[in-house]
Structures are given as structure tokens and as C-alpha cells.
Chains A and B, each alone.
Chain A
Amino acid sequence: MKHISRTTLIFLGSIVTFTLVVQVLISLGVLSPFWNTILRQGAVMAIVGLGLNLIYGFNGQFSLGQWGFYAIGAYSAADITYRWTNDANSNGLTVLFFTILLVGASILILYRVFGKIRGVDPLSAFAIYLIAAVGLTALAVSIGNLTAPAVNAILKALPTNIANTLVYLLAVIIGGILAAEVSFLFGLPVLTLGSDYFGIATLGFTIIVKVLLDNSDVMFGFVEMKGARGMIGIPKLTSWIWVMLFLILVIVITRNLLHSSYGRAIISVREDEIAAKAMGIDIGHYKTLTFVLGCLFAGLAGGLYAHINGFLHPDSFNFIKSFDPMIIVVFGGLGSVTGTVFAAFAWQLVLEGILRSILPPGFETWRYVVYPLLLLVMMLLKPNGLFGNYEIPYLRQVLPPLKKPATETQTPAAKESL
């Protein structure tokens, strides 16, 4: 145990204690299912927020596309578990498993090959990746359908509980990886755009995903997704413990990434792209890496979210909602992991919980009148977010900050000031 530092122990100890205390309160019935749902959704938002904070707060890429990847993760994970619990068929699992496996392998190999060539054009590379991905997906569908009966037999041999949980966990992870692979394909050409244009293109991605989900049953044949009517009958398997496990995992991954040389490279891209390039940092590589990782988190969160309410509707993924993670990240403080986690819980508790319970009956619609006012006041009083650049000791960088912290943590374009 001597390699684990004191701050790590304190962090892990306190967050595990928090998780267990809440779990005990839930089991004792002190926290009603209503508050339980809100807490779980808060944790989900924290995961999405951490992904966005990585992309925007630490790497300076203004992404409004998190919600689209969240939707991809949610729907793909939900489809897998739906097929297993309702049709006792694991073909969703096997098809998507082989898809992410084959497409992921092709991406890794092609990335290697392209890495050896100087001055690869992202758009041309994208064309090759796309052809490979489409071809391999078609192959994966047939392999998946072939192997499904065997997997069915294995899963049925297991006790129902264990089989369900196994499928659920795999579904969430596969959903996340699928979102990450889509984000790689989408990000490759789009990441070359300037900051605002990148934001707009990713916003477009969110809207495209929403429109595709609206038509998922009629145009694409996913009957169980029921298109614009909303998908029902997803097993409610996301418990408080599972969300918190994923949240802790995401925090630890983020922290370790940011504290490594990769993290310093990522932050240097945010501070000054030209200077980073001059120091020999491959900007494109780090932008892609952060974007893919951030979208992986969004996909994981989506999978978790799908199994909270057992209900998904394309309207929950429209572009208005795609500002929510952005609001949370800015609220907590750009470039502060602590702030994001705190703000996600606070945002969910205030908006869904406290405002709902303190407003008198008949005034529920006032919730969204009070919320923007809170947002305005908050931004006018603390333009740098609640926490600014503050981190708890476990998450704090060991190195001194690169530049003056707080206000300087924006993209170069953002520094053009208003």
C-alpha cells in the first residue's frame, strides 16, 4: 500500500463512504425513489460533464455534440438489453460487439498506417475510414447474427440475475465504445475547423442524431426503438452503486490522464496551439484523443441513463438539452473536475428536485422561469464558475500551473475577448 498517497486514500475513502451512506439511506427508505432517481441522474450528468470538461475545459475544443454521443450510447445500450430481456435474444449484443471490435481494430490499424505518412489530409483519411467502417459493420452484422444462438445458450445457462447484469454491463460499455468510435469518425474531419465552427458542426451532429432517432422505426427498421413515440420496456438496472462505480472510474481516468505527459500535452493545446506545435506536440493527435475519450464518457453516461427510467424519447436528446452539459461545465468552472462533479449534482438537485418541491402546486411551469434567472445571476456574479480552477488535493496538478490560472483558461479564439 505504500504507493498510494494520502490524498488518494482520502479521496477514495470519502467518495466510497458517500456512496455507501446514500445507499444505506436508499435501502432504509429515507431517500424516496424520486430523490434516488435525481441522484442517479446527477451522477450521469457528472460523467457527461467530465467528458465535456476534458474536451472543452482542458483541450479547448468548443463541443456541443456531447448530447448526440450520449444519445448514441443510450439507444445502443438500451437496444441490447431490450432485446435480451424482452425477446431473450442476444443478437443486439453480439452484432454491436463485433461491430465495435472490427471497426475499432480497423481504426487502430489505419491510424497506425496513417501515422507513418506525413501530412495526411483528414478528409481523405476520413473517406478511407468510412469505407472500412461501413464494410466491416456489414460483416459484423452477419457474424453477430451467426454467433447469437451460441451466446444465447451460454447466457441462459447462467442464473437470470447474473445474466441480466452481465448483459447490462456489456451493453453500457459497448454503447460507450460505439459512441467513441463514431466520435472518432466524425471528429477526424471536423476537428480541423476553428473553435466556433467546430461547435456548430457538433451541434449539427446532435440534431442529425435526434432526427435519425425520430425515424429509427420507419426508416431504419429498429422497430423496438419506436421512433418519435419513445422506447419503452428497457430494464431498470442502473442502481446507485453502478452509477457511482462508473463515476469514480471516470474521475480516476480523467485525473490520471491529466496528470500524465498526455494531460500536459492536452492542456498545452488549449493554452496555445502554435506554441504547442513548436514544442513538437502533435495537435491533431491530442485533439482526437481527447474528443474520443470525452465522447466515450458521454456514451457510457447515455447507457447508464437509459437504464434509470426504462424509457427513452428522442425529445430528451434534442439540441436544447445539448446545452445542459455545457452549462454544468461552465457553472462548475472550466478546467475543474471537482467543479464539474459538484455542479452536475447541484444542477440536477436544484432543477429537478428542490425547485419542484418548493414551488407551490400549479406553479411547476415557473421552474424554467426561475432557472434561467439563476443562470443569469450566477454568470453575472461569477463568470468563471463556482469553483474557477479549484481542485481538491487528489485532483490537483503536481506541477505548477502553466499560466496564470482562472480567467486565462480559454481557447485562443476565446481570448479575443467579447
Chain B
Amino acid sequence: MNRSEPIRKAPSFLESLVQRRTLGYLLLGLVLLVAIWRLGNALLENPSLFLQQVTNGLQIGFVYALIALGYTMVYGIVRLINFAHGDVFMVGAFTSFYAISRIQLHLWTRALFPDLNPFIADVIGTISVVLLSMAVCALLAVTIERVAYKPLRNAPRISALITAIGVSFFLEYFGALNFVYTANYITYRRPFDVITWVIGDQGVQVLQKGQEVPAGAIIFSNISFIIIVVSIILLVLLQYFVKNTRTGKAMRATAYDRQTARLMGVDVDATISTTFAIGAALAGAAGVLYAIAYPQVVFWMGIIPGLKAFVAAVLGGIGSIPGAVVGALILGQAETLSAAYISTPMRDAIAFSILIIVLLVRPTGIFGEAQREKA
């Protein structure tokens, strides 16, 4: 409060109370304490159930991480909240759905090399499905970028945001038309069989069909395994790409200062397109993994995961790649744990409350840099 008053005496105790953050942190600490108390209780009561929830959280967290990277990279380079990203994720899931159910892409190795070990055939088949989805999404994103965002690069930032929303609506409702995906839920066929392991007192066992899960055991399926492994591989590849290749350096340079990057000989337009393509490819992979984990596809399936991933990106500090991953893992845990131990219907509200609280403590996210003032 700017009031021109004569030099005043030292603030009283009550004044200094509101001048510092003490009270605010006290309030937030109270919230945190209640949450920790609740989770600690849950862990003590039933450790295996708690660990099960953590595993589930890890699985969904990695899917969010893959989507969140697209948000964070695009925001880092063009300062655009790409609301169409969640729908690119949806297109990825649908691409894999058609690849599996119509052209049976996952079976091509078996058809060509009947003698191949079925395990290896499944692995190669699944990888080709994922790669196809990634390619389709990358192509889609580059098209979107060229058509909808590039002409607006020098327009007010909000115009591009509105076009992003427009593109998102278009992808959803065009997909909902009867000759595209229809507006119904469609059951998704997995490209491989599910194997579930039970980790309990008797060590690791394969769960047979119809068998009861013994009390105190943790279930772990090959789906969780695949999601976690594929995500980690893609994250490592991305990290290598961004840090060590020429294109990656160009991306970082463009994100830092577009004009200077241009002067240094970076092809800014191509770099931006590449960023969109990479982000979308990751979202495509996430779409396949998500559909494998929750075997249903529907035209609006991208909205909620997209939003969650966006929250994760902001939580970690939008523009930061490790931040997106950390944010997504935190969000995955927060979501599953709050659904299990606090309240299932309030899950989304809790996720967003965490976001707002984190932003109040760290206004640019966990890994975010302080906002740079550009001259």
C-alpha cells in the first residue's frame, strides 16, 4: 500500500504478523498436515493397499508426463497454451484403435514370420502400433501449427489461444460425427494379452484367470510395466534429443530468445514445427498407452487427461522438461491417493487445489524460473 506518511516507528507485533507470510504458511501447513496424517494412517493400516495405489499412481503419472511434455515444450517455445494437445492425444488413441482392429498392424510380424517367438512378435507389433500413432499425431500437429498458429505468430497472444480452443473443438466434434469415430464409447482391443503378477508372501506369481487375489498382495500387470518402461525410454530419448542434438539446441535457443536465435542462423519456423511434432508424437504414444490401460476410446477422451497433463506441466513449472515429469508424477500420486483415501468424486478438485497451493508458494511452479522481463 503506497501511502506517503512520515517515517514510522517499527511495526507492532500485529502489523508484522500480516507483513510476513507466517499466517499464510500456517494455513497451508495445516492443510498439508491433515493430508499427511490421513495418508500416514492409511499406510499404517494397510501397507499393501497403499503401495498398490502408489503403483497405480505411477502408471497414470507417466501417461500424464508424456502428454505434459508436449504442453511444456510448446509453451516454452511459443508461449502458447496449446489446448488442442489433449485432442491430439485422442487422435493417437484412435489411430492405434484402427491400426489394431481394422488392419491388424500388431500382427504383421506373425503374418510375415510365423516362426518368430510370439513374445518378440508381440513386442514388435506393439511398437509398430505406437510408432504409427506417433507419426500420425506428429503429422497432425504440424498441420495444425502451419494452418492455425503460424499465421497468428505476430498477432495478440490471445488470438492464438482462441484458435487453439477452436482446433480442439473441431477435432472433438468432427470426430464425434457418425462417419468418423461416432459419439459412442468404443471398446479397445489390446495388441497383446494381459499378464497379471501377484507380489505377496509367496514371492512373485502369475495370476491365473478366475483366481482370487490373496490378501495383502500387490497386483502388477504387464500394462503398468509397459507404460512405465515405454515412458522412461521416451523421456530419456527426449532428454538426449534436446540436450545433445543440433535441433535440440536450436529448440532451446529459440525458446530463450527467438530473434537472437534467428540472427544466429536458426530456422525458427522449422524449429517450432519440430517442437510441435515431437510434443504430439509423445502425446500419440501416451494415447496408445492410455487406451491400453483403460480399454475404451471415445471422442472426448482427450479432454480430462489433457487438462490433467496441463496442470502437471504448470505444477512442475511450465517450460521445464524435468518439471513436467515431476509435476505429472506428483499429480498421478495425488489423484490416486486422494481418490482412495479422501474422496473419489472430489479427486479433480483436490488436484486443482494442490495446483493453486503450489502456485501460491512457488508462483512459477516447482522447477519454473522467475519470469524473465523482456525488454
Contact = CB atoms under 8 A, between A and B. Distances in A.
Interface in B169-206: 169-170, 172-174, 176-178, 183
Nearest to A207: B352
Given A365-B183, A369-B170, A369-B174, A204 B355 contact: yes
B155 interface: yes
A201 B160 contact: no
A375 B162 contact: yes
B173 to A, nearest CB: 4
Contacts of A282: 1-2
Contacts of B81: 196, 199
B170 A117 contact: no
B267 interface: no
B21 interface: yes
B152 A418 contact: yes
A89 to B, nearest CB: 28
A114 B359 contact: no
A384 B162 CA distance: 11
Given A123-B21, A327-B162, A418-B78, A201 B359 contact: yes
Chain A interface SS verdict (over half) = helix
Contacts, number: 209
A190 B357 CA distance: 10
A211 B342 CA distance: 14
A375 B163 contact: yes
A375 B165 contact: yes
Interface string A345-372: 0000000000000000000011011011
Interface in B323-358: 343, 345-346, 348-349, 352-353, 355-356
Interface stretch (B11-19, B133-141, B230-238): B11-19
Q: Which of B21, B166, B348 has the most CB of A within 10 A?
A: B166
B18 A219 contact: no
Contacts of A384: 155-156, 159
B153 A418 contact: yes
A320 B169 CA distance: 9
Given A127-B26, A368-B173, A320 B19 contact: no
A3 interface: no
B19 A120 contact: yes
A376 interface: yes
A121 B158 contact: no
Nearest to A277: B2
30 contacts: A115-B1, A117-B1, A118-B8, A118-B11, A118-B19, A120-B1, A123-B24, A124-B19, A124-B23, A130-B27, A194-B371, A200-B314, A204-B311, A204-B356, A207-B352, A219-B346, A319-B307, A326-B161, A326-B162, A368-B176, A373-B170, A376-B163, A383-B155, A384-B159, A414-B156, A414-B157, A417-B153, A417-B154, A418-B149, A418-B152
Interface of A: 62, 114-128, 130, 189-190, 192-194, 196-197, 199-201, 204-205, 207-208, 211-212, 214-215, 218-219, 277, 280, 282, 284-285, 319-320, 323, 326-327, 330-331, 334, 365-366, 368-369, 371-373, 375-376, 379-380, 383-384, 407, 409-410, 413-414, 416-418
Given A124-B19, A369-B174, A376-B163, 9 more contacts: A126-B27, A277-B2, A327-B162, A365-B176, A365-B177, A372-B168, A375-B166, A376-B170, A380-B152
What are the 6 A-B residue pairs with the smallest beta carbon separation, nearest first? Answer: A123-B24, A383-B155, A204-B352, A368-B173, A124-B23, A375-B166
Interface of B: 1-3, 8, 11, 15, 17-28, 78-81, 148-149, 151-163, 165-170, 172-174, 176-178, 183, 303, 307, 310-311, 314, 318, 343, 345-346, 348-349, 352-353, 355-356, 359-360, 363-365, 371, 374
